[in-house]
């Protein structure tokens, strides 16, 4: 924790275990069905209250202007909505890769909303915070609620689910992917039939973005070919991270070592309750 901070919280990664695009709304947003699960990989946010009302983020992310950062936007939105006159100093320890499809920016925003709700003693409900979060991004509500979930709509209609918690190997080629580029591609599949959550839990699903991502980003296809020697590789969200499922940590670590030097890799445990919510429960107990 930063030496002047009074609160330190994780901002965990997530995987989309499947992603079906079932339609497109009149406002241009896509109707999705997806399955979210958290990982024990996380960024970390440290907070300290300020009495002057200023929101100051002391950590910069290369290529992201401070005022466009989702952390600053989340803090300012919460301040505006609640009428809170307090401010905050915020420090980000960035450990998750940017543009990888594992939710770094959205998770940062959610941790900021929940962290400042606690720090400023606003007592807003998760539903209220999730509603605010949706203004920042479609993935923010799942991080606010903190439970593995089947999601519909643009990703904000959440149904909590209990999933196996296997070990995952994540691999990232040296490329960042533009979500907007994938979702605006005219050849993207947008008419996958809707399925019920029970069917997803029994049979799984696929990722409708995969073919489009592989067409635009050959680095992802090369990474999938490498990982396919050891497991069935899958794409999370619009990527660029791919992942494989392993029965234990040792097997995942072994493959990670075999891929080292060719791909950036992480070994992580699946979690049905996010580490953010576990940390908040500890604070409140």
Res 267: pLDDT: 98
Domains along the sequence of the chain with CATH: 1-285 (3.30.230.10)
Distance of alpha carbon 2 from alpha carbon 212, whole angstroms: 42
Cβ neighbors of 51 (< 8 A, separation 6 or more) are: 86, 87
Distance CA 181, CA 192 (A): 20
pTM score, whole prediction: 0.95
Contact 13, 97 (CB under 8 A): no
Q: How many other CB atoms are there within 10 angstroms of residue 4's CB atom?
A: 10
Residue from 14, 46, 89, 208 carrying the catalytic annotation: 14
Whether 14 sits among the annotated catalytic residues: the reply is yes
Tens of pLDDT along the chain (285 residues) come to 888 889 999 999 999 999 999 999 888 889 999 999 999 999 999 999 999 999 999 998 777 776 679 999 999 999 999 999 999 999 999 999 888 899 989 999 999 999 999 999 999 999 999 999 999 999 999 999 999 999 999 888 999 999 999 999 999 999 989 888 999 999 999 999 999 999 999 999 999 999 999 999 999 999 999 999 999 999 999 989 999 999 999 999 999 999 988 999 999 999 999 999 999 999 987
Q: What confidence score (pLDDT) does residue 2 get?
A: 83
Of 43, 46, 89, 139, catalytic: 139
Note if 139 is an active site residue.
Answer: yes
Compute the residue count for the chain.
285
């Amino acid at each position: 924790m930063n030496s002047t901070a009074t609160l330190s919280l994780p901002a965990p990664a997530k995987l989309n275990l499947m992603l079906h695009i079932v339609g497109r709304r009149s406002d241009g947003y896509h109707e999705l069905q997806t399955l979210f699960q958290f990982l024990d990989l996380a960024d970390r946010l440290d907070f300290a209250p300020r009495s002057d009302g200023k929101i100051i983020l002391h950590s910069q992310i290369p290529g992201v202007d401070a005022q466009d950062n989702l952390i600053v936007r989340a803090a300012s939105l919460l301040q505006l909505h609640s009428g809170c006159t307090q401010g905050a100093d915020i420090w980000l320890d960035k450990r998750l890769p940017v543009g990888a499809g594992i939710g770094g920016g959205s998770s940062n925003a959610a941790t900021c909303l929940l962290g400042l709700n606690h720090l400023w003693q606003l007592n807003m409900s998760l539903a209220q915070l999730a509603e605010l979060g949706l203004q920042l991004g479609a993935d923010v509500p799942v991080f606010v609620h903190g439970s593995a979930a089947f999601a519909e709509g643009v990703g904000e209609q959440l149904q909590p689910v209990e999933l196996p918690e296997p070990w995952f190997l994540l691999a990232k080629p040296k490329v960042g992917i533009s979500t907007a580029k994938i979702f605006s591609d005219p050849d993207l599949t947008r008419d996958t039939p809707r399925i019920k959550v029970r069917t997803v839990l029994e049979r799984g699903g696929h990722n409708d973005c995969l073919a489009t991502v592989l067409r635009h980003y050959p680095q992802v296809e090369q990474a999938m070919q490498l990982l396919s020697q050891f497991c069935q590789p899958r794409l999370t969200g619009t990527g660029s991270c791919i992942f494989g499922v392993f029965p234990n940590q040792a097997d995942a670590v072994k493959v990670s070592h075999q891929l080292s030097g060719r791909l950036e890799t992480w070994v992580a445990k699946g979690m049905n309750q996010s580490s953010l919510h576990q940390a908040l429960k500890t604070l409140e107990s």
